[in-house]
Amino acid sequence: MGVRSESAVRIPHAATPEIPEELSRRVVIDRIRPDVDEGRFPIKRTVGEEVQLSADIFADGHDAIAAVIQHGDDEIPMALAVEGTDEWTASFTVSARVGWDEYRIVAWVDRFLTWRRDLLKKYAAGQDVGVELLEGSMLVRDAAARGGDERLLAAADALTDTTPVEQRVAHAMDADLADAMARHADRSHATVSPPRRVWVDRERARFGAWYEMFPRSAGADTHRSGTFREAAADLVRIADMGFDVVYLPPIHPIGVSFRKGRNNTLSAGPDDPGSPWAIGSDAGGHTAVDPGLGTIDDFVAFRAEAERHGLEVALDLAWQCSPDHPWVTEHPEWFRHRPDGTIKYAENPPKKYQDIYPLDFENDDWRGLWHALLDVTLFWIAHGVKIFRVDNPHTKTFGFWAWLIERVHDDHSDVVFLAEAFTRSKPMRYLAKEGFTQSYTYFTWRNTKQELVEYFTELTQTDVREYLRPNLFANTPDILHAYLQHGGRPAFEARLLLAAMLGASYGIYSGFELCERRAAAPGSEEYFDSEKYQFKKRDWTQPGLAELVRCVNRIRRDHPALHVDRTLRFHAADNPEIIAFSKRAGDDAVYVIVNLDPHHMQHGFVDLDIDADAFVVRDLLDDAEYTWHRGRNYVRFDPEIRQGHILWRPTPRT
């Protein structure tokens, strides 16, 4: 019996899988950038911003390639970044409408470009190109048929008429012919990338100055809560300092059970108001207003007054309850229970928060809970709130946030969500990917030059910038860093300059402008007599930083360079206590130099990388002008006099 050769073996056609058509596409589109997890999550922009797009685009062999970005009704031609790299680039401006935007890349082997390139090489080498010109004429006629452009028929004839060959070759190289052929290119075998999405926010998502205040501390009586009507009187002061957003901690009724006293003591006195984050009492829950502040109508009036002064009101979303919250009796299944049947209160061992019950996002009725929380959010949106600071989002199911933010944005795409997630880097980033508009950062704990340079290079020069927008709070009711505790006024000046200049979005908590810096205990970041547990009356007429804050916020508004983060660049400074950086937008460039040492005079040389032998810079803080020169320039900072420069280079006079 003979052995059958392999060449004789035939697999029946019926058993051969159908070959997908996309495998025949010769062009490869790879590594589209910017990118968030290969398109799993959208990149983020604000209205009017550009997307600088790049992709690796190549094909087998040596044929010429053409590529475009399809964005809405527009097609933007792409070009090689550097010959031989296969990296193609182009840019487009996102939609002028808040919400979803979309684009894709289309690339194809361009037979006309290939023909024209090879024709020129052969002609330059002295070869006979008659056949090549005939081939080109056929390509042009095919394009005329595809596009119904009769003018191309005349161009095809011009390639094969009896004029001298040099004239016909020149016609082949004509720019108008190339443009017409590009309009009617043969894309029948083009490769089309899957659509990529861009989430487009309004400008406040990218740029703004925030001020955090407790409205209950307004008013003159230290034994009762200030009202919204009294707090509205303070809006003039806040707006005068140049802020854009006034952020309020929870404004809801506060529980009585296990209420915390002053300085977080376990026993509250009769006048102690408790923590606003212990939400809920017999006066209502998350859709109610604490009776001490007033009514829902009083809040709406407060919000309207804020808007009259150019301020937006941001509210706190804190998904937790006091033991007295109506949900505790109405929906006990929404909470975790101990073996003895009691509800578990919040803990961060060894800390205990007996006045707070966490919600259980894994309970059997989790869908009912999620919808209830969405209803709360929509309730406040219906009352005019378009910005939310979200408390501890990293302690809730990540999928919940993706769901809630998407549901809100379905009908209210202009709503901004700020994630207060002081946690590990990867969960913080993931929350931003899931839809949070802005994020708190580690800025408060980055105080040395090396820490600042490394951290802000990561935030502004890596792919993190495509989805995470930092909001730099110099202090919060929970965080009074040791740098501020021990550095005095110069430390507050330095941190203000850093927060406001490094970040397009930044914030301070009420009292920062008075340099409040007494800690609850050595080594603690808690404030003594924390406003979280008591009414805090302040004398706003005492000396402080209000004038500097006003000046800094005016500079921010006047200079587009400070409205963005991605142009941040650090510059050389030979003293480790001096940091120098710049931002640019078009022709506007701002250079910032800050002394990080609040205790001692520091001096040294900085290099701003300005390409001019001599140039004038103006300090926007005091309008002083200096003539600087290419390369190193001398600076000196005395903490009791100044902690930094904000320099601007006026347009040179002609």
Rounded to an integer, what distance in angstroms lies between the CA atom of residue 536 and that of residue 539? 10
Rounded to an integer, what distance in angstroms lies between the CA atom of residue 503 and that of residue 305? 27
Tell me which residue of 297, 299, 255, 298 sits closest to 276, measured CA to CA: 255
Q: Is 418 in contact with 314 (CB distance < 8 Å)?
A: yes
Instruction: Break the chain down into helix, strand, coil percent, rounded to 5.
Output: 35, 25, 40
The residues carrying an active-site annotation are 391, 420
Ramachandran angles phi, psi of 31, nearest 5°: 50, 60
Distances (CA, A) of 166 to 127, 419, 458: 12, 67, 56
Q: Is 528 in contact with 518 (CB distance < 8 Å)?
A: yes
Rounded to an integer, what distance in angstroms lies between the CA atom of residue 281 and that of residue 324? 5
Q: What is the DSSP-derived secondary structure letter of residue 254?
A: B
Say which residues have a Cβ less than 8 Å from residue 435's Cβ, sequence separation at least 6. Answer: 199, 401, 402, 405, 406, 409, 417
Collapsing DSSP to helix, strand or coil, 199 comes out as strand
Q: Is 62 in contact with 95 (CB distance < 8 Å)?
A: no
Burial (0-12, 13-18, 19+ Cβ within 10 Å), 622? exposed
Q: CA angle, corner 525, sides to 519 and 528, nearest 5?
A: 30
Tell me which residue of 335, 402, 398, 397 sits closest to 363, measured CA to CA: 335
Tell me which residue of 184, 583, 201 sits closest to 418, measured CA to CA: 201
Number of C-beta neighbours around residue 645 at 10 A: 24
Rounded to an integer, what distance in angstroms lies between the CA atom of residue 55 and that of residue 388? 36
ω into 34 cis (within 30 of 0): yes
Q: What is the 3-state secondary structure (H, E, C) of 44-100?
A: EEECCCEEEEEEEEEECCCCCEEEEEEECCEEEECEECCCCCCEEEEEEECCCCCEE
Residue 517: both structure tokens together:
């810096």
Residue that has been written with the tokens 């320039």 in this structure: 633
Rounded to an integer, what distance in angstroms lies between the CA atom of residue 511 and that of residue 519? 13
